[in-house]
Chain A
């Protein structure tokens, strides 16, 4: 996994709530057997007409907006456990998703792929949307070590939570398997003691 530390970037606004993983990557694009290339079909049905022409009014098709940060409404990533959603966002170029609420499985999948979920209050989320509306090139700074998200122009800063272990993993580019393999003896001891398997 690639290391994550700080990111300074403009952001793409998606002020829609309950964005489920079927929207992020529809099921018909889950037939690939590798992790690459899902970015092409990110938000496929919001982004393209059925004839593959771009929907002009969708934010990813608006050249004014760009950046490594996606800002979305609450309960982002609900629904299916498909990790392809995190792969698609990452493959497209996002490194951070900001929302006022994330679905559990998506949050965990994102972190396992170097995509940082930043949960802020509803009020702060509105401030971010307003900052982008005022200036689509507005810069934001994400500091994982300090666990802060800042609107650069105004200096407004929110702190966000992340499990200390997962934070260490993201900063160093570790994944859970390395750790779990290192405790194989403990796992085998547990198995030997288990009464009803």
Chain B
């Protein structure tokens, strides 16, 4: 019986097993940020413990940082205190910190890959559910709670039940105007927000293989939105080429040796999965969400389902009432107030290039407030080098500095109550982008088209 990609990596990291079946899993890399680490550091301090493997731990400040005037002290008192606490803890415990002002600072799931910290075959965790992003490299990566952050600090290990295995195959060719964000929104709309719970997902098929690393990250990033702990994609030449030369990737002979190992990381032909789904890429259209969880998504050509067709009509009605939508209506031509392009899902250089190419020479609609927040210092530096910043500013977009920003509204970047925001982020939960904010998830291309039109349009029909 063959093994899945997931099995191969998991089994290579089992330290031991406890009675009842839970396993102790060794964690190769631990990423931390300011929001979910302070209580874990405090726990270590209380127990008088050091960080066991500081060289396998990397910190950045992202969730709580302002996206304007980052060279100045943080204005908001509680945010400043939390970011300062991270700096203090990292200094005290000897953890490398890419804080504000550092050329490597950025959203934790953007900097891991771009620095080459994320590598095939590794186990990676972070106190953040979108850690699943790193699975794009053929790594087992998943989000954990703060108690577990403390466990990894103390022992570089976690006690885990082995998840079940799911494979989602997407074969065929995407239509023009349809991008990787649409693939994952489509999958989640089919599986629902809980359809992946208990599973680790492998994404496979020709449509997935044809994607760039950054596009693959967008897919793995949102695995958690269907409840899966993580998602991963077998590494291939695209992966190796992306990693070659990155700061923390192996160099010279060591890189070749690593590639030889990475090439063994694939699912054997005769391996079996607990659950399989197969989708046709050609069936996917630009996708939008209409409700208050990422499973509530439709194709641009479709209409919002009616409450009577939902599993739980009461919950469905509550959701539509929050969004101010009616069952049966189309989202086309809905006026939009805000456009947010950013987050660990879609803030990388390819996302910015895609948006810049679309908005170049155009002007954003007067009714829309449009914000672009790059994922990292490296992304913003690259964007400036390519002149993308000028394109955005000339088109009337607000081009900000790196951070999580309006994806979760922890800093000042919030969407006002009742306002509609077409967002490239990952969650459309009630109040996610600010109390009362109404989020419609979409691809960077659809977000760009919305900003220009001032309303929801089908990007396939726009020039």
- Chief secondary structure at chain B's binding surface: loop
Which residues does A use to contact B, with CB under 8 Å?
15-18, 20, 22-23, 26-28, 30-35, 45, 50, 73-75, 78-84, 86, 101, 103-105, 108-109, 112-113, 163-166, 175-177, 179-181, 183-184, 186-187, 190-191, 194-197
Cα–Cα distance between A26 and B431 once the two chains are bound (Å) = 8
| Sample of 16 further A-B pairs with CB below 8 A, known A196-B258, A197-B28 | A18-B315, A23-B430, A34-B38, A34-B42, A73-B315, A79-B429, A104-B198, A105-B129, A108-B148, A112-B148, A163-B161, A180-B155, A181-B155, A186-B24, A187-B26, A191-B156
**Interface of chain B residues 293 through 317 with chain A (CB within 8 A):** 293, 311-312, 314-315
Which residues does B use to contact A, with CB under 8 Å?
15-16, 18-22, 24, 26, 28, 35-36, 38-39, 42-43, 47, 49, 56, 63-64, 78-79, 81-82, 85, 121, 127-129, 143-148, 150-151, 154-159, 161, 163, 193-194, 197-198, 224, 227, 229, 257-258, 261, 292-293, 311-312, 314-315, 318, 408-410, 417, 427, 429-432, 435-436
Cα–Cα distance between A80 and B82 once the two chains are bound (Å) = 19
Cα–Cα distance between A122 and B121 once the two chains are bound (Å) = 39
Measured CB to CB, the nearest residue on chain A to B41 is A33
Decide if B409 touches A28 in the complex (CB within 8 Å).
Answer: yes
Supposing A27-B409, A181-B155, A195-B261 touch, asked if A78 and B227 sit within 8 A by C-beta, the answer is yes
Decide if A194 touches B26 in the complex (CB within 8 Å).
Answer: yes
Decide if B431 touches A16 in the complex (CB within 8 Å).
Answer: no
Q: Which residues of B contact A81 (CB under 8 A)?
A: 36, 127-129, 143-145
Decide if B197 touches A165 in the complex (CB within 8 Å).
Answer: no
Decide if B42 touches A33 in the complex (CB within 8 Å).
Answer: yes
Cα–Cα distance between A179 and B16 once the two chains are bound (Å) = 12
State how many angstroms separate the Cβ of A169 from the closest Cβ of chain B. 9
State how many angstroms separate the Cβ of B404 from the closest Cβ of chain A. 9
Cα–Cα distance between A50 and B36 once the two chains are bound (Å) = 26
Which residue from A22, A23, A50, A79 sits with its C-beta under 8 Å from B436? A50
Q: Which residues of A contact B21 (CB under 8 A)?
A: 163-164
Decide if A45 touches B435 in the complex (CB within 8 Å).
Answer: yes
Decide if B194 touches A101 in the complex (CB within 8 Å).
Answer: yes
Decide if B15 touches A183 in the complex (CB within 8 Å).
Answer: yes
Q: Which residues of A contact B144 (CB under 8 A)?
A: 81, 105, 108
Which residue from A15, A28, A50, A74 sits with its C-beta under 8 Å from B417? A50
